[in-house]
Structure 1
Amino acid sequence: MEITFKANKNINQEQLLKLYNDVEWYAYTNDMPQLQQALLQSLDVISAWDQEVLVGLIRVVGDGLTIVYVQDILVLNAYQNRGIASQLMEQMMTKYTHVRQKVLLTEEAPDVRHFYEKNDFESCDKGSLVAFAKFG
């Protein structure tokens, strides 16, 4: 298996549907035109491919100068635990090393904390940081 990475915001709707549904992110796939538009309007998108199959994706929003926000990072279940998400994260963070604030918000789930901490993110429940979010 050789995974290739592409910086491309225009990804086939069927490929996106398969990826997002595979990780059960149905809130996105309930409105596929909106998801495709969200990708197009994102600051950056890097996708991972096994030949012609979309196996992973990371997308960031922000200004690219003072803040980037990791909105999505996902990998097909069958391809997880192979370092693909870490490679996606590394590529994106390398591209934005000059940016002071790199932020993400995620649900607590098994191995989530470990993944982000090994990729140099710190939880806001530790140290002097505080995080707030408003949904809906």
Structure 2
Amino acid sequence: MNIEFSTEKRPNANLIIDLYNNAGLPRPTNDKERIQKMIDNSNLIITAWDGEVLIGVSRCITDWVWSCYLADLAIRKEYQKEGIGKKLINLTKEKVGEQSMVLLLSVPTAMEYYPKVGFKKQESSFIIDRAD
């Protein structure tokens, strides 16, 4: 398996929708325009490719010096448990540098995964839910 990681190759909404659906990531994949806006408004996207197939993504919003919100981490089901998610997280941390923290909101099914790849569980977060 020859996986290429890139900060230059930005996938389009169709590729992201296919990846999120395959990975089981609960996002509004029935709304292509919204997904495209999510991509367009992210200032750090790291992708993983197997040839022309998008197999993973770390989609982030960051200020580069204080915080980096890892909004989406998705890996195609057939590539999970191969270290690709961990590599995307490590590349994200490397890219934002030591001054910035990386934080995220986990989907319920990944709560046990994140401590295994270096995240500490926090009890100090709050949320105002979106309308949909």
Contact 1:58-1:70 at 8 Å conserved across structures: yes
Letter in 2 for 1:53: V
RMSD of the alignment, in Å? 1.7
TM-score normalised according to structure 2 size: 0.87
How far apart, in 2, do the equivalents of 1:26 and 1:121 lie?
A: 21
- Give SS of 1:124's match: coil
Query: Identity over the aligned pairs, expressed in percent?
Result: 28
Amino acid in structure 1 at the alignment position of 2:27: A
User: Counterpart of 1:54?
Assistant: 54
Partner Cα separation in structure 2 for residue 42 and residue 10 of structure 1: 11
CA contact (8 A) 1:56 1:73 kept: yes
Structure 1 pair 82–106 and aligned structure 2 pair: CA distance change class (3 A): same
1:113 aligns with 2:111: yes
Other structure's SS at 1:28 match: coil
Aligned residue pairs, count: 130
The equivalent of 1:64 in structure 2 is 64
Question: Deviation digits for residues 93-115 of structure 1, max 9, x if unmatched?
Answer: 11123334321111222xx2342
Once the two structures are superposed, residues 43-68 of structure 1 have per-residue CA deviations (whole angstroms, 9 ceiling, x without a partner) of 20001000000000001113121111
**1:78 match:** 78
User: Which amino acid is the alignment partner of residue 81 of structure 2?
Assistant: N
Distance 1:10 1:97, change over 3 A: closer
AA partner of residue 117 (structure 2): N
Gaps spanning 5+ residues in structure 2: where?
A: none
The reply on whether 1:24 has 2:19 as its aligned counterpart is no
Task: Confirm whether residue 132 of structure 1 aligns to residue 126 of structure 2.
Answer: yes
Q: Contact 2:71 / 2:104 at 8 angstroms: preserved in 1?
A: yes
Q: Name which of structure 1's ranges 26-35 and 58-67 shifts more when overlaid on structure 2.
A: 26-35
Structure 1 unmatched ranges of 5 or more = none
Give the whole-Å Cα distance in 2 for the aligned partners of 1:25 and 1:80. 13
4+ residue runs of structure 1 moved beyond 3 angstroms?
none
